[in-house]
Amino acid sequence: MKGAKNKQVVKETERRIIANDPEHNAQYNYAKNYIKTSKYTFFNFVPYNLFEQFQRLANFYFLCLLVLQLIPVISSLTPVTTAVPLIGVLMVTAIKDAYDDYQRHRSDNQVNRRKSLVLRNGQLKEEIWSKVEVGDVIRMENNQFVAADILLLSTSEPNGLCYIETSELDGETNLKCKQCLPETESLGQDDARIGAFRGEIRCEPPNNQLNKFEGVLNWEGKQHSLDNDKILLRGCILRNTDWCYGVVIFAGKDTKLMMNSGKTKFKRTSIDRLLNFIILGIVFFLLSMCLFCTVACGIWESLTGQYFRVFLPWDSLIPPDPPGGPAVIALLVFFSYAIVLNTVVPISLYVSVEVIRLCQSFLINWDDAMYHPPTRNHAKARTTTLNEELGQIEYIFSDKTGTLTQNIMSFNKCSIAGRSYGDIIDPRTGEFLEISEYTRPVDLSRNPYHESNFKFYDQSLVDALDGGDPDCEAFFRLLSLCHTVMPEESRGKLEYQAQSPDEGALVSAARNFGFVFKSRTPNSITIFAKGVQEVYELLCILDFNNVRKRMSVILKRDGKIRLFCKGADSIIYERLKEGQDSLKYHTQEHLDRFAGDGLRTLCLAYKDLDEEYFLDWKGRHHEAAVSLERREEKLDEIYEEIEKNLILLGATAIEDKLQDGVPQTIANLAVAGIKIWVLTGDKQETAINIGYSCQLLTDDMLEVFIIDAHNASDVEDQLRKYREEIRNVTATKQPQTNLSVVTFSDEGVGQDNLSDAGESNGGFALVINGHSLVWALNPKLELLFLEVASQCRSVICCRVTPLQKAMVVDLVKRYKKAVTLAVGDGANDVSMIKTAHIGVGISGQEGLQAVLASDYSVAQFRFLERLLLVHGRWSYYRMCKFLRYFFYKNFAFTLCHFWFAFFVAFSAQTLFDPMFISVYNLFYTSMPVLALGIFEQDVNAKNSIKFPRLYTPGLLNALFNKREFFRSALHGFLTSCVLFFIPFGAYYNGMDQEGRSMADQQTFGSVVATILVIVVTMQMCLDTSYWTLFNHITIWGSLIFYLLLQYFYNFVIGGEYVGALSKAMGEPLFYFTTLLTIVVLMLPVMAWRFYWVDVRPNLSDKVRFKQRHDAKMASKRSEHDMLRTPSARRSRRSVRSGYAFAHQEGFGRLITSGKIMRPRNMKQGPMSNGRATNLRPDNKISLVAPAPSTVEV
């Protein structure tokens, strides 16, 4: 036992593995490579599911009620009336839950059954992923997923390098480089040698830190240090590497990918939680009625009942003495009334809710408006329990890369020698023309290396190059030489592998304009400049990093040494040679305009070097490079020395292409009152640029706060400072006046033109870095951070880890009590997706991890607009309307028994036929309300998007809350009074036409039951705004079905109330009573609703009126009323750095060392993986949100 305990301690603090030794590794019971995101198994489904279902108070209540009904002495109803509905509810819910979990099992199996080559006994054997174990050596081939977290042993590439794509982990598609130990590189792909490898690996225990690994390898008597550069993580894809071998370190749930996934949580909607509270309140109300009836029964039996024992004898269980007998009878009556009045807690409510949710999920799945043809992906509801929560989202937490953007860079514009290229100018007006899909790009096809996807629209740049403009040639020559891109020939086509998409886009642009980067060695770079081969000797690479914000190369050709440099405008301008004021002024103008358009900008410059000076500098550079002290500082000083007195060439402007419709979607969601926070792993400049492009950040904002401190006190100081600024602005602001009239206009496209919408301009934005967020999320500062962030219109968190994303979401969930939604596309978003109330996965190019963990999946971010504003709002609206009506009809039905108790000595005698009681909620009134819950809509989909403020009631929880429940219950209470007492008065001394009395209990009960069905059906007609064929069939069919079933049950089967209803319907008294009751009940309801719609209409009423008006005028609409699609861009000032390389450090060190080189001959061939440019912005058009309307309502 002691040994086991010690072993457990070792396992928790350190992992020990011997490669190819399963017996040794088995003693530690490391997790296998099997993953599980499902909740149930075949064996635990029934108990686990029943346990979850009986957490619903209604289900548990009816279970207790069923037990009571099994006791004959207190039950006046057969147990079947409760057992059948309860079993039906449990079965339907269980089937739905089983279906949901079956889908998760399928997804898990799809991953677990992927194939992998595992080395067993010195031979490669194909195994499924789930059978891979810790300590196994596996072989991976190009374009394969990595099956587990592995230590790299050997690769097909020189110096043990391999390239991976980490889109599953961080959403980034740019390649990253890994390198194995030189000692294991020699193993190559010799299966026998690798099979004999018995290295012992000691490393850290499983954790969720993607960028950190510590361990040692003991092999052949030597100890080798292991770090993150030698580890391939599960979910990565091997790229541009023919093969590699590795030892499995972590498998299955222990992998860093799964450790970041979080635990599957049981999610409930706010309506579910409210229903539990309401059901609890209804139970107390029921017990109160039962207690009242118990006391009243005891009093009646004491005062009157004991004297009628000859006619109403007491049961043998009842004590004969007066004090004890009435008390026991009253006690038994308590339980009897608990059974009779049980329908006030509707068991069919939950099964109806589940059916409605299931159908709403199908409507989401079938919506062709959310279908994405390029990926052939529909929107998919992966759960059926959260639909109405989509209509109450207050906070959206979004990833950036791959979610808001396509992570595709396109060369858009440039400035060369003070002249701007890339815009199309109208020769008549001199104004910029907007580029559309119909604009013809320039023809670059004469270049054999051109890419068909590359688009550029300014012919003047091509003409300048054709004319031999030296500045333009120098510009593109610099782009083709100053980089760390690696070329590769694949299937006869030249392809580039860049450390960042930005750099790839610039080299691709140079290629398309005739300056083709062809190959490189550790000491040379070869390009084809307008068809002529040029070979440059590579003397030095001054690599990029986040501090330098620039990179340079020093090249030699024809005896001339030249330094080429590119970097952020602020960095390059500080290092320019004197006497370039005019060029600097014009270039700065262009940079401001480019950055204002949301483009990512770089400045290009060069400098000729004297060979003697360079040799001296190179010697000092070498001394700094091998220095053991202050190496980085010394290198920075050396770099700073040579990167001075530069000559400016120009600037580039590339676009990180947003996904289609992102600005419009964000603008519309903001108008709807939804706050959007972007949580990204990208650096600050990149995130801010995208913030402006997608309109999270705008120029009308009063301030963009940036928190970038590195310690707790500085972060606190910044937060307090910004809080004071917000308070000062808020204190001096004029109070808003809420108007009752709402005006819509198509003129202000992209603006919230609701006059009662509050402030639509100004406001603040917050940008916070990951290292600052560590302190901001500290318990001491988290409330201060949340206070500042919640008062900002937009929040962008940069350089955040997957765990920090989840912590931010959890912070808002805990303190704001708001419904949250997280949307992402990579494995780094899984924790955030699982933490939020609702998780949405983008089913695009970034893998399946986010989708597998999500509640809903869509192919593009823009579909989130329709998912929330249409399906979410409709689902919430339908569910609330359904619940209000359901409680109304059940109170109206059940309380008739309560009124009847006053006339039957509180004896628990039922007013209605037991058959009617059993099927009232199942057959007579279930289908119309189901049709309402599935198909109802106040306004159509087009207007739901056009008027985003319609979403506001969901944010305010206005359509169903405690107040709305009490109103529905009160309506049902009053309805039951009228339903009971008008027929009671009519039939109290009622006579038929032949003089026979009609004042019997069965006739009275049948009359009240019939009028009840008619009244609640008419109420359904008033509640239905959107009539479909199903509504007509269910509403009118329910009335017909009621009459047919009554006839069949009473006359065919021989029910207790046989002939009662047919007798009543043969007399005029029945029709008079029915008409009077309907008028008394319906007239006030109609008058009340007409008053509110006519005098105090809400936004929904106004839009519905406009919708009817538009439908009538549809035939008269003319073509010019239709709006063209506005540009997604607007002109604005530049308030941020345009420089935004996505990577941290380039390939420079590896290039100059020769380790990254391939010993292969590059063949010439055209390249096909070009970059498509986006539309040119129109400086005169504001950002668009779908226009509200042209009518003032």
> Whose structure tokens read 């010993």?
1159
Amino acid at 528: F
From residue 671, how far is each of 759, 821, 869, 946 by CA, in Å? 10, 17, 11, 11
Separation between Cα atoms, residue 1094 and residue 661, nearest integer Å: 37
Q: Tell how far CA 755 is from the center of its chain.
A: 30
Element of type H or E holding 65: helix 57-69
Cα–Cα distance list, 352 to 272, 415, 798 (Å): 13, 64, 44
Tokens encoding 200? 């012992």
**Alpha-carbon distance 729 to 796, whole Å?**
21
What percent of the chain stands above pLDDT 70?
A: 85
8 A C-beta contact, residue 46 and residue 54: no
Q: Enumerate the active-site residues.
A: 399
In terms of DSSP bridges, do strands 838-842 and 856-858 run parallel, antiparallel, or are they unpaired? parallel
From 5-14, 392-401, 551-560, 874-883, the region with the lowest mean pLDDT: 5-14
pLDDT, tens digit, for every residue of 1003-1028? 899 999 999 999 999 999 999 999 99
Mean pLDDT of the region 554-577: 91
H or E element that contains 724:
helix 712-732
Give the global pTM.
0.73
Alpha carbon separation from 1033 to 71, 874, 1028 (Å, rounded): 41, 22, 9
**pLDDT of 1176 strictly over 60:** no
Copy the structure tokens of residue 772. 């600052």
How far is residue 884 CA from its own chain's centroid? 29
Say if residue 1072's pLDDT is above 70.
yes
Provide the edge-to-edge strand list for the sheet that holds 231-232.
Answer: 123-128, 115-120, 137-141, 243-250, 149-155, 231-232
CA 1160-1162-1164 angle, to 5 degrees, is 160
Helical packing angle, 348-365 and 57-69, nearest 10°:
140
Residue 593: phi and psi, rounded to 5, are -70, -40
For residue 118, what are the CA distances in angstroms to 111, 115, 128? 17, 10, 9
Per-residue pLDDT, 848: 64
Q: What is the 3-state secondary structure (H, E, C) of 884-946?
A: HHHHHHHHHHHHHHHHHHCCCCCCCCCCCCHHHHHHHHHHHCHHHHHHHHHHCCCCCHHHHHH
Considering the chain, what is the average pLDDT of its residues? 82
Q: pLDDT at position 796, please? A: 92
Task: Report yes or no: 806 and 835 within 8 Å, Cβ to Cβ.
Answer: yes
DSSP for 989-1041 reads: T-B-TTS-B---HHHHHHHHHHHHHHHHHHHHHHH--S--HHHHHHHHHHHHH
Q: In Å, how far are 675, 830, 848, 858 from 841, measured between CA atoms?
A: 19, 9, 9, 6
Average pLDDT on 628-635 reads 76
CB atoms within 10 A of CB 584: 18
- In the DSSP assignment, the letter for residue 36 is -
Nearest CA to 884 out of 978, 1019, 1009 is that of 1019
Q: Judge whether residue 52 has pLDDT over 80.
A: yes
**φ and ψ at residue 222, rounded to 5 degrees:** -120, 155
| Ranges 276-285, 687-696, 896-905, 1031-1040: which has the least confidence | 687-696
- 813 by DSSP, 3-state: which? helix
In this structure, of 77-81, 943-947, 1117-1121, 1181-1185, the range with the lowest mean pLDDT score is 1181-1185
Residue 342: closest CA among 635, 729, 76, 636? 76
On the question of pLDDT at 1181 being above 70, the answer is no
Lowest mean pLDDT among 296-300, 301-305, 451-455: 301-305
pLDDT value of residue 1163: 40
pLDDT band at 262 (very low <50, low <70, confident <90, very high): low
3-state class (DSSP) for residue 663: helix
Phi, psi of 722 (to 5 degrees): -70, -35
> Residue range 733-748: average pLDDT?
40
43, HSE (Cβ side, Cα atoms, 13 Å): 0
Residue 571 · residue 548 · CB < 8 Å: yes
Backbone angles phi, psi at 497, to 5 degrees: -120, 115
How far apart are the C-alpha atoms of 149 and 212, rounded to whole Å?
13
